[in-house]
Chain A
Amino acid sequence: MAARILCIGNRFVGEDDFGPRVYDTLAGMECPADVDIVDGGLAGLNLLRYLEDGRPVIFVDAVSGFAPVGEITVIDGDIVARQAPGKFGHEAGLPFLLHVLPAVIDNPPPRVRLIGCEGGASDDAVLDAARLSLQLALEAQ
């Protein structure tokens, strides 16, 4: 089973539009039919439905503090989960979702990786991330 690519972030805020830009790029590319590509936006906890069927998940999101500015980095889901804040709020994002995941789904959690970009991404970086997400998705089969 190929992975699911979940691009997340806010397309109206430059600082956070990396995931949606990668989604838009993937939408214009020829992609294998069994790779599921989702424009996850700001759905937060309501993305749980995409993490329950055992398919490996590649998240794509803007990150801060993981790599030099402009660089693309791949971060393991466990490390993302460790960044969870101590409290839940409307803004609870990916770290919270991954942290709480094992306790709130019935199946074992899927393997999760995050393709992140630090700071504003160039168009080339977005294209690279789109290709990398497909590569990781197919490798996950």
Chain B
Amino acid sequence: MSPTRKIVDIPFNRVEGDLEVRVEHDDGAITDAWSAGTLYRGFENLMIGRGALDGLVMTPRICGICSTTHLMAAARALDAIAGVTPPDNAIRLRNIALMAEHVQSDVRQSVLMFMADFANPAHQRHSLFEQAQQRYTTMGGSSFIDVIRETKKILEVVAMIGGQWPHSSYMVPGGIAFEPSQAHLLQCLQIVRSYRQWYERRILGCSIERWLAVDSRAALDVWLDENSTQRESEVGFLLRFGRELGLDAIGRGNEAFLSYGSLDLPADTDAVASTRQLVAAGVVRRTTAETFDAAKIAEDVSHAWYKKALGALHPFNGETQPYATGREGGAYSWIKAPRYDGSVVETGPLAEAVIDRRPLFLDFLAGPGASALTRQLARLTRPTTLLAAMETWLVECIATHGATIIAGDGQVPDGQGFGLTEAARGALGHWVSIENGKIARYQIITPTAWNGSPRDEGGVRGAWEEALVGTPIADPDNPVEAGYVIRSFDPCLVCAVHTVKRNH
């Protein structure tokens, strides 16, 4: 280690209570990084011995943001064990609530968390800084306030389809527990249309159709120069200020991507996709597209505080036995290290875009490569791929109101199954074994486990550990650049403690 080499703890506790990132830097750039989840969660062990259906009630409560996604994964695992395929309207109504959660999260995370740092004093010499402060200052910025005001409305869709908020548990093996009334479905349609209008006006500055025509980096430059509405939109500002800050040149990572696929298409629908899911499943490593195979997932615990098993284990065989000891050496996180076919992969909206072969993002990969900015652009514009299908499916539900919403008898036999879906932050899976009518094993792999994993047996860094290497670090006391890299993955580790603490 050279004399100038320093270790810095990135103060993520102000953003993500249970995440600590430590970096080593030398000569103004990060040379190594360690990401640690600091809280043992152990949800898997809470589930053992409970009734087969309890995952539907327990797992949505482990996250305040992605509760519908956990419900979807839990329900799909039970569908698989019961061997049932939900009827079309159950598929639609499961999807719509999940998509409502996504289109809210994508905008909130972008503006309230990622772009909020545009108002960081580190940027005060930049020409757009004053405007950034006016827009993104926490609590007072114009975009900050408007995003909270508007994104709160879309939640009503989840409340009406799920029958309650929070903690909706309306998905059941084989379908959904009840059908919302026509009046509620019409209200949902109105809310989605109104959200779309706001999203087009404020976030894009253009219609969704116009945005989807942006199919290359050159077309993106044309779009940005086309008019002031687009330039001044949130996407426009993200691009302009993000480029000025050099966010298009940091956070590349290893460019290996995973999507489990999500949002099954009903058998009879006007929604169009390249596969039988609106969001395709797949893996891309070094630009090579592969078919996704769930059997190739394994969890490595070599650098996590768990009892060491016999190498990396598939989640059906996974163990979650906490084992933290000073003599263990090498372990530094409560997050396990999931790997796909032995590889580190990243997951999230950029992975979905690459696997869906969306031309704009493929062009980025073919040119400068992935970056913090590309990742964030994929997130902020993902609703362009979801909102139209939400409308289509609501219209179809209204037209076929009264059609069956459940297949099978709602019972779950003994057996093994897994439920995969895409959460707002990426690939989420539940692996479930039922024995004698009880849960014998329950393993959950979250998107943040994929993105924020520690090293594996081979010493290979996790996705954002790798993406941090090479990132400039101008001021070790305010390492804002590292913050952009991490936040472009939208870390979420806060399924934890929220007590009201006296600070003042």
Contact A46 B166 (CB under 8 A): yes
Q: Assess A91 versus B496: contact at CB under 8 Å? Given A45-B148, A85-B503.
A: yes
B61, B116, B492, B501: the one within 8 Å of A90 (CB) = B492
**A62/B116 contact (C-beta < 8 A), A12-B62, A44-B64 known:** no
User: B1-44: which residues lie under 8 A (CB-CB) from chain A?
Assistant: 14-17, 41, 43
Structural contact, A41 and B15, CB atoms closer than 8 A: no
CB of B139 closer than 8 Å to a CB of A:
yes
Q: Is A37 part of the contact surface with B, judged by Cβ < 8 Å?
A: no
| Contact indicator per residue, chain A 7-28, by CB within 8 Å of chain B (1) or not (0) | 0111111011000000000000
Which of B149, B155, B500 sits near A61, CB closer than 8 Å? B500
User: Is the CB of A74 closer than 8 A to any CB of chain B?
Assistant: no
* B146 nearest in chain A by CB position: A104
Contact A88 B502 (CB under 8 A): no
List CB contacts (< 8 Å) of B474-504 with chain A: 492-504
Other-chain residue from A12, A15, A66, A84 in contact with B139 (beta carbon distance below 8 A):
A84
Determine the chain B residues whose CB is within 8 A of the CB of A42 once the complex forms: 61, 63-65, 166, 495, 498
Chain A residues with CB under 8 A of B15: 87, 89-90
B167 and A45: CB pair below 8 A?
A: no
Q: Write out the residue numbers on chain A whose beta carbons fall within 8 Å of the beta carbon of B385.
A: none
Q: How many residues of B contact A (CB 8 A)?
A: 44
Q: Which residues of the partner chain B approach A41 to less than 8 Å between Cβ atoms?
A: 61, 64, 67, 166-167
B65 contacts across to A, CB distance below 8 A: 42, 44, 90
B498 proximity list for chain A (CB < 8 A): 8-10, 16, 42, 44, 61, 91, 93-94
Instruction: Please indicate the chain B residues that have their CB under 8 angstroms from the CB of A32 in the complex.
Output: none
Complex contacts, A31 vs chain B, CB 8 Å:
none
- Assess the A82–B497 pair: CB atoms within 8 A: no
Q: Which of A40, A80, A114 contacts B166 (CB 8 A)?
A: A40
Asked if B14 contacts A16 (CB within 8 A), the reply is no
> Is B206 an interface residue when CB atoms closer than 8 A count as contact?
no
**A83/B155 contact (C-beta < 8 A), A12-B62, A89-B14 known:** no
- A49 lies within 8 A of B14 (CB): no
Q: Chain B: which residue is nearest A42 at the CB level?
A: B64
| Interface presence of A100 (CB below 8 A) | yes
- Contact A91/B167 with A41-B61, A83-B500 known, Cβ cut-off 8 Å: no
Chain A residues in 8 Å Cβ range of B324? none
* Inter-subunit contact A39/B14 (CB<8 Å): no
In whole angstroms, how far apart are the Cα atoms of A24 and B43 in the complex? 20
In the complex, B145 has a CB within 8 A of chain A: yes
Q: Is the interface of A mostly helix, strand, loop or mixed?
A: mixed
Choice from B149, B159, B495, B499 contacting A49 with Cβ under 8 Å: B159
Q: Does B165 contact A (CB under 8 A)?
A: yes
Q: How far is the CB of A106 from chain B (nearest CB, A)?
A: 9
Contact: B61 with A66, CB < 8 Å?
no
Q: How many residues of A contact B (CB 8 A)?
A: 47
The reply to whether A11 and B61 form a contact with Cβ atoms under 8 Å apart is yes
How many Cβ-Cβ contacts under 8 Å join chain A to chain B? 139
Which residues of the partner chain B approach A87 to less than 8 Å between Cβ atoms?
14-15, 116, 138
Q: Could you tell me the distance between the alpha carbons of A61 and B504 in the complex, rounded to whole angstroms?
A: 18
Tell me the chain A residues, 80-132 only, with Cβ under 8 Å from chain B: 80, 82-91, 93-95, 99-100, 103-105, 114, 116
Chain B: CB-nearest residue to A114: B500
Q: Tell me the smallest distance from the CB of A33 to a CB of chain B, in Å.
A: 17
Check if B183 is an interface residue, CB within 8 A of chain A: no
Question: Is A5 interfacial (CB 8 A cutoff)?
Answer: no
Query: A26 vs B328: C-alpha distance in the bound complex, in angstroms?
Result: 46
Chain B residues with CB below 8 A from A39, complex form: 166-167
> B51-63, CB under 8 A of A: which get 1 and which 0?
0000000000111
Quick one: which of A11, A44, A89, A105 contacts B113, CB cutoff 8 A? Answer: A89
Task: Give the CA-CA distance A103 to B498 in the complex, in Å.
Answer: 23
User: Once the chains are docked, how many angstroms separate the CA of A65 from the CA of B499?
Assistant: 10
Chain A hits for B61, CB < 8 A? 10-12, 41-42
A87-B116, A91-B17 given; 12 more Cβ-contact pairs under 8 Å: A42-B166, A43-B64, A44-B65, A44-B498, A45-B108, A62-B500, A63-B499, A83-B501, A91-B16, A103-B145, A104-B149, A116-B500
* Selected A-B contacts with CB under 8 Å, 29 pairs: A10-B496, A12-B43, A12-B62, A41-B167, A42-B61, A42-B63, A42-B495, A43-B64, A45-B108, A46-B155, A46-B166, A47-B166, A48-B152, A49-B152, A63-B501, A64-B500, A65-B502, A82-B504, A83-B501, A83-B504, A86-B14, A88-B112, A88-B138, A89-B14, A90-B65, A91-B498, A93-B498, A105-B149, A114-B500
* 8 shortest interchain CB distances as A-B pairs: A42-B64, A65-B502, A91-B494, A93-B498, A43-B166, A89-B15, A62-B499, A104-B148
